[in-house]
Amino acid sequence: MLPIISSKKYNTLWFCFLFLIGFIAYWNGLTIPYYGDDCKYIFNPIPQSIFYFFTHPSPNPDFFRPLELVFHIFFQSHFGLNTIPLHLLQLLFHILLAFVLYLAAIKLEFTTLQAMFSSLIMLVSQTNVFTVSSGDTLSQGAGTLFGCLCLWYFYRALTTQNLLHYYASILFLLITLFFKETNISYLPAIFVIHLYHNFLSKSNSYQVSNIIKKMLPFILVCGFYFLVRAQFVSGHFEERYALQFGFGVLKNIALSLLSITLPFSSVTFVSAFKQGNSILVFTFLLFTIAFLLFVFIGLQRSQHKRFIILFSILGFINLFPPALIKNTSELYVYNAMPFFSLIIGIGIGTLLEKIQREKFVVSLYALFLVVIITSHIFAVQQKVSLMKKNGERADVILHQITPFISNMQHGGNLFLLNPPKPKIEYSIFLIRGFNVLGLNRIYHLSKRNDFFMKVLEQPEFNHYKNIEKSFFLTLNADNQVVPVFQDSLVRPEKK
């Protein structure tokens, strides 16, 4: 068994290793251009103060995330639409989060193997790509990092009675909320940690007055944030953010857990499923079940069962509130991923330690783990590559559209007619037609904002085709932008 290592030397070496693996997995994503929803954060004009959105509505009126916008304003002020600084920061936050898990696991007296595997799973898991490589998800990555720091320092405050740790925890909660409102999930997580510590220490602080005293500053911080947020957010959300209950919630939780545990690209898995490739789907599920079986055996033999229960509760708490959203995605799994990474790390690390005397079995198991980790890295690279191609395709389409706009009249309409739906679409990775665009970029490139734009699906075309002063553009089989009406870019006015 490897000893528990907490020296600065080994910590530094492990951080360097995580940094290297992180860059190997994600380097191709550092140049992903803005596309899709990313473009909601392209400013035209750029606010003069990086703190502008602390006192003004967000460009996305459904949200209030001023800390995220601080970075967007700064990067666009200094680097224009070059996304490398943004993606570097997101990757750095992700690597730091993986390293924080390692340090926390060591402090909690996990073995070195368990700590290493926990942080490595967090780093390379293919389900994290959405958060780490999108241009509009800094709030998710940074929010999770500071949320986990909030929980860690609160736990340390309970165990050490250090007031500085307690104040740091309050500050980190405030920071994570100003990154993203869904990080309210860390409030019940703090409460659970408080109960957990009381249970372990057999403290008499179960009294309601004691719990309220500890929790009150955190409740006030949340109240303050939502009071400020209410001044800038209308409360009318897009249809995709509509809430649901019942079976839909259970389905979202099941898909989230599958995404967390799947050691292969979810894009490949979904594509195989939709194409009816039962052999590939069965193979993926077989490897996933085998991996989970090894994790479960390790958890059964672990001496950290109380922590396993705690991390399970914290993981499920952090699947909410997004699990209630009608159209959820891999993005929202990121909040829960640190806790499930710790569980997985404990499981596979413990099993490896328990079988270390059986050399042949250890070799087979280690080989299996290498295959799993490598598979995750390849999956990350595949998904990042798909995102980069989407961004590059968006750039080409945008520059083809821009010349048409010079002929548009003031107050005109630009309708972009999507080609027929392909068999497979998935999240931000497999996107068709004009859906890769961010309409903000068209306004930005054309240096005009005196016209209306809308992406149309085929069934909508007949409803819009006779509107006056309108351009109708579509994509041909070669993905080239062409006018819908070949005789004229402008649909003749109705008489």
CA R_g for the chain: 25
Dist. CA 126–CA 128, nearest whole Å: 5
* H or E element that contains 472: strand 470-475
Structure tokens at 153: 């320092």
Q: By C-alpha distance, which of 112, 119, 37, 45 is closest to 76? A: 45
Q: 202 Cβ partners below 8 Å, 6+ apart?
A: none
Profile the chain (495 residues) by mean pLDDT over runs of 10 residues.
61 95 96 91 90 90 91 96 96 98 95 96 97 95 98 95 95 97 96 87 63 92 95 72 78 92 94 93 94 96 94 96 84 96 96 89 92 96 97 92 82 88 86 87 81 88 83 88 66 42
DSSP-derived secondary structure letter, 53? G
- What pLDDT is attached to residue 493? 44
CA-CA-CA-CA torsion for 174, 175, 180, 182, nearest 10 degrees? Answer: -40
Neighbours of 146 (CB within 10 A): 24
The answer to whether 14 touches 100, Cβ cutoff 8 Å, is no
Dist. CA 275–CA 269, nearest whole Å: 10
Task: Give the three-state DSSP class for 414.
Answer: strand
Neighbours of 213 (CB within 10 A): 11
Dist. CA 137–CA 143, nearest whole Å: 10
Q: 38 Cβ partners below 8 Å, 6+ apart?
A: 134, 135, 136, 438
The answer to whether 345 touches 102, Cβ cutoff 8 Å, is no
For the chain, the residue count is 495
For residue 414, the cross-strand partners are 453, 471
Q: 274 Cβ partners below 8 Å, 6+ apart?
A: 423, 424
- What pLDDT is attached to residue 491? 45
Q: By C-alpha distance, which of 111, 110, 137, 85 is closest to 2? A: 111
Q: By C-alpha distance, which of 178, 187, 194 is closest to 142? A: 178
Dist. CA 338–CA 149, nearest whole Å: 11
Tell me the pLDDT tens digit for each residue of 201-247: 665 555 667 788 889 999 999 999 999 999 988 766 666 666 777 78
> In sequence order, what DSSP letters do the residues of 135-167 get, joined into one string?
TT-HHHHHHHHHHHHHHHHHHHHHHH--HHHHH
Task: Name the burial class of residue 459, with classes exposed (0-12), middle (13-18) and buried (19+) by CB atoms within 10 angstroms of its CB.
Answer: exposed
Q: 260 Cβ partners below 8 Å, 6+ apart?
A: 125, 127, 333, 336, 337, 340
DSSP-derived secondary structure letter, 276? T
Q: How far apart are the first and last CA of the chain?
A: 85
* H or E element that contains 35: none
Dist. CA 63–CA 52, nearest whole Å: 15
Beta strands at 470-475 and 413-417: parallel, antiparallel or unpaired: parallel
- What pLDDT is attached to residue 467? 83
User: Phi then psi for 474, rounded to 5 degrees?
Assistant: -145, -175
The answer to whether 21 touches 124, Cβ cutoff 8 Å, is yes
User: Phi then psi for 475, rounded to 5 degrees?
Assistant: -115, 130
For residue 58, the cross-strand partners are none
Task: Give the three-state DSSP class for 359.
Answer: helix
Sign of torsion, CA 197 201 207 212?
negative
Examine residue 3 and say whether the peptide bond preceding it is cis (omega within 30 degrees of 0): no
Dist. CA 60–CA 282, nearest whole Å: 41
- What pLDDT is attached to residue 365? 93
- What pLDDT is attached to residue 49? 95
The answer to whether 346 touches 119, Cβ cutoff 8 Å, is no
- What pLDDT is attached to residue 236? 62
